[in-house]
Amino acid sequence: MNAHAVNRRAVLRTTGLLTAGLLLGAAPAAAAVRRPTPAGAWAELRRGNRRWASGKVLHPHQDRARRDEVADKQEPYATVVSCIDSRVAPELVFDAGLGDLLTVRSAAQTIDPLVSGAIEYGPAELDVPLVVVLGHQRCGAISAAAHALDEGRRLPGRLQDIVEALRPAYERADGDVENMTKLNTVGVVADLKADQLLARQVARGRLKIVGAYYSLDTGLVTRLV
C-alpha cells in the first residue's frame, strides 16, 4: 500500500471518529485534554470531595471506555501526596478515576529523596499543575511517633526513620496529635516549595502546592495552606 493510500485511510478514520463524537454530543478531543490551571485543578478536587462527603459520588472515569482512553497516554490534573492509611484513598476521597490523579503515599505523608522524586515526576514530566499534601484525622503513624517520642523509645527497623521525620512537628505541637498532623503537613508543603525543580514551576505560575487535612468523621477535606 502506498503512502498516499495510508494517509487517506488515516484521514478518513480521524474524520469518522470526530463525526461520531459530534453526533453523540461529545466535545472535540482537544477540549477534553485542555490543561487545567492550578486553581481549576483544586476546584475539581473540591467538587469531587464534596460529592464524596455528601454520599453523592459519580465514580467518574472508572469504566472500560476510560481504561481504553488512557491506555497509551496519561494527563492527570493533580498529584496527591497522602498517608498510606487504608481509609484515605485519594481517588475515593476526591471521587476521581483512572488517569485523573497521581498518588504518592507514605506513612504520615513524610518525604525523603525517593518520595520527592516521585512527586517531581508529575509537574516536571506531565505538566501537572497541582500538588496536594493531604494529612488526615487520627493518623496512626503520627500517633505512634508521638508516643515513641513521649516515652523516649526507639521503634524497630525503619519505623524509627518515620519518627525522626516527624520529630520537628512533634516538638512544635505541644503533645496535640492532630496539631502535629497539621504542622507536619504544612512542613512538607514548605519542603516541596523549596525543591529546586518544583520551585521553578511554581515561579512560572504553572504549579501550586497546597496542604490539606482530611476528616475521617465527615469525609471533608479542608485546606491548611
Place 8 in a pLDDT band, splitting at 50, 70 and 90: very low
pLDDT of residue 34: 75
Q: What pLDDT shows up at residue 33? A: 54
Tell whether 83 is in a known binding site: yes
Q: Count other Cβ atoms within 10 Å, centred on residue 199.
A: 14
β-bridge pairing 208-214 and 221-223: antiparallel
> Is position 136 annotated in a ligand binding site?
yes
How do the domains of the chain map onto residue ranges? Answer: 1-32, 35-223
Q: Which pTM was predicted?
A: 0.85
139 is in an annotated binding site: yes
Find, among 30, 9, 28, the residue nearest to 20 by Cα.
28
Rounded mean pLDDT of 51-78? 98
Instruction: Please provide the average confidence, as pLDDT, over all residues in the chain.
Output: 89
CA distance 194 to 115: 15
Q: What is the pLDDT of residues 192-219, one digit of tens each?
A: 999 999 999 999 999 999 999 999 999 9
The per-residue pLDDT for range 144-193, each reduced to its tens digit, is 999 999 999 999 999 999 999 999 999 999 989 999 999 999 999 999 99
The CATH T-level fold of domain 35-223 is Beta-carbonic Anhydrase; Chain A (3.40.1050)
Residue 12 confidence class, pLDDT cut points 50, 70, 90:
very low
Q: What is the mean pLDDT of the segment spanning 130-137?
A: 98
Mean pLDDT of 70-77: 98
Q: What is the mean pLDDT of residues 120-130?
A: 98
Give the pLDDT confidence score for residue 132 in this predicted structure: 99
